[in-house]
Structure formats: C-alpha cells, structure tokens
Structure 1
C-alpha cells in the first residue's frame, strides 16, 4: 500500500486505495470522495423479543455520515479563504515547498504552478479547505468541492506537495 504524506508536515493525506486523476499538467490530483455511514450497524439476527415475551429495547444508533477521505486521514476543515488570502497562502506555500523538491521537479513545479493556482482560483467560492491532523500552519491544503449535480465531494491535492511512502 502507498500512503501520501504532506511534504511539509508529514501528515498522511491520501493513499492508493483512493484512485486519482491528474489535471493541470499533473500539478493537481482529483480524487472522488464518498459519503459513508460510520458507527453502529444494526444486525438482524432473526430474533423478535416482543413476540417472545421480552421487550424490544432497540439499538442506540451511533451511526454518523462522514466523508471517507476526511474520516480516514483525519483531515481538519479550515475556514474558507478569500482571493487575497488564497494568493498569499499559495505564495508562501510555493516558497516553502520548492526547496524540498528535487531539482528537475523544481523546474516543472515553477513552470506549472501558476496554471494550477488559476484553476483553483476559478473554483475558490465553491471550495472547502482541509489540512492534515497536525493542523500545522504550513500544511499543504487539500481542497474539496461538489461537481455540478454530484452528491459526493471531489478532493483536489497539489501533487508536488505529497511524498509517497510504502507501507
């Protein structure tokens, strides 16, 4: 199994059990999330206590709906960015990430990050923002939005901000 960690904080943000699609010259990864029910599961064993003279106590239902990616990687939602905050974040992020990349990746990153930033800016009002569980100030932000008509969110990762770890 492959796990993808935030290059800046080491937080786990994704794994290969969630397939991704490269967009914006490979700068961004799109990953489909799903709403799932987590918690108590009602198992019907065929018994009917009320018919057998007992009381039907029911089940204390602890089930909650969560988004699989958010739950699995304990992503923490952050307040939305306005355009100025987003541009400021991206400038800082580029400055922090570039020295951590291999020289050949640095060139590609510098060449294509502007297009990826513009793509994200075009969706800014629809995006939700998440960081890893450490909630470090310099975290890679994971973006989520709902495609038109979709009931499940799509997540966007900055591919160069992820480090692949074999587990």
Structure 2
C-alpha cells in the first residue's frame, strides 16, 4: 500500500486506496470522497426475542455519517479562507515547500503553481479547508467542494506537497 504524507507536517493525507486524477499540470490531485455510515452494526442472527419470551432490548445506535477521506486520515476542518487569506497561505506554502523539493521538482512547481492557484481561487467560495491530524501551522491544506449536483465531495490535494511512502 502507498500512503501520501504531507512533506511539511508529516501527516498522512491520502493513500492509493483512493484513486486520483491529476489536474492543472499535475499540481492538483482530484479525489472523489464518499459519505459512509460509521459505527452502525446491524447483525441479524435470525432470533426474535419477543417471540421467544425475551425482551427486545434494542441497539445502542451510534451510527454517524462521515466522509471516508476525512475519517480515514483524521483530517481537521478549518475555517474558510477569503481570497486575501488564501493568497497569503499559498505564498507561505511556496516559501516553505520549495527548499524541500529537488531541482527538477522546483522547476515544475514554480512553473505550474500559478495556474493551480487560479483554479482554486475561482472556487474559493465553494471550498472547505482541511489540514492533517497534527493541525501543524505550516502544513498543506486539503480542499473539498461539491461538483454541480454531486452528493459526494471532491477533494483537491496540492500534489507537490505530498511524498509517497510504501507501507
């Protein structure tokens, strides 16, 4: 299994169990999330307590709906950014990430990050913002939004900020 960790914080943000599509010259990875029910276990053993003279005690139903990616990687939702805050975040992200990339990666990053930034800025009002479990101040941010008419969220990851680790 491959896990993708945030280069800046070390948090696990994604794995190869969630297929991605590269967009914006590979700067962004687009991943489809899914709402799932967590915690509900309904086991039918075929017995009917009321018919057998027992009481139907019911079940302590702790079922909650969660988004699979958010739950699996324990992503923490952050307050939304306005355009000014987002630009400040991107500038800081570029400054912190660039020295951690190889020379060829730096070239591609500098060449293509502007188009990815414009892509995200165009969706800024529709985005939700998440960081990894550690909630590190200088970490990568994961973005989520709902495509037109979609029931499940689409996540956007800043690909240059991810490092592939084999588990």
The alignment's TM-score, normalised by the length of structure 2, stands at 0.99
Alpha-carbon displacement from aligned partner over 1:127-167 (angstroms, at most 9, x marks no partner): 00000000010010000000000000000000000000000
2:160 alignment partner, SS class: helix
Asked if 1:134 corresponds to 2:134, the answer is yes
**Aligned-CA RMSD value:** 0.5
Q: How does 1:40-59 map to 2 (within 5 A)?
A: 40-59=40-59
Partner SS state of residue 106, structure 2:
helix
Whole-angstrom CA distance in 1 between matches of 2:78 and 2:11:
15
Alignment length (residue pairs): 167
Q: Which runs of 5+ in 2 are unaligned?
A: none
How far apart are the structure 1 equivalents of 2:98 and 2:2? 23
Shift, 1:53, TM fit: 1.0
1:13 aligned residue: 13
Q: Secondary structure of the equivalent of 1:47? A: coil
Tell me the secondary structure at the aligned position of residue 37 of structure 2.
strand
Matched residue SS, 2:148? coil
1:87 matched residue in structure 2: 87
Structure 1 unaligned residues grouped into runs of 5+:
none
Cα distance in structure 2, aligned partners of 1:40 and 1:17? 23
SS in 2 for 1:54: coil
CA separation in 1, counterparts of 2:133 and 2:62? 23
Q: Counterparts of 2:43 and 2:149 in 1: how far apart (Å)?
A: 33
Q: Distance in 2 between matches of 1:33 and 1:108?
A: 27
Q: Per the alignment, in what secondary structure is the counterpart of residue 61 of structure 2? A: coil
**1:29 counterpart SS class:** strand
CA distance in 2, matches of 1:136, 1:56: 48
- Is 1:120 the counterpart of 2:102? The answer is no
Structure 2 equivalent of residue 63 of structure 1: 63
CA drift of 1:96 comes to 0.4
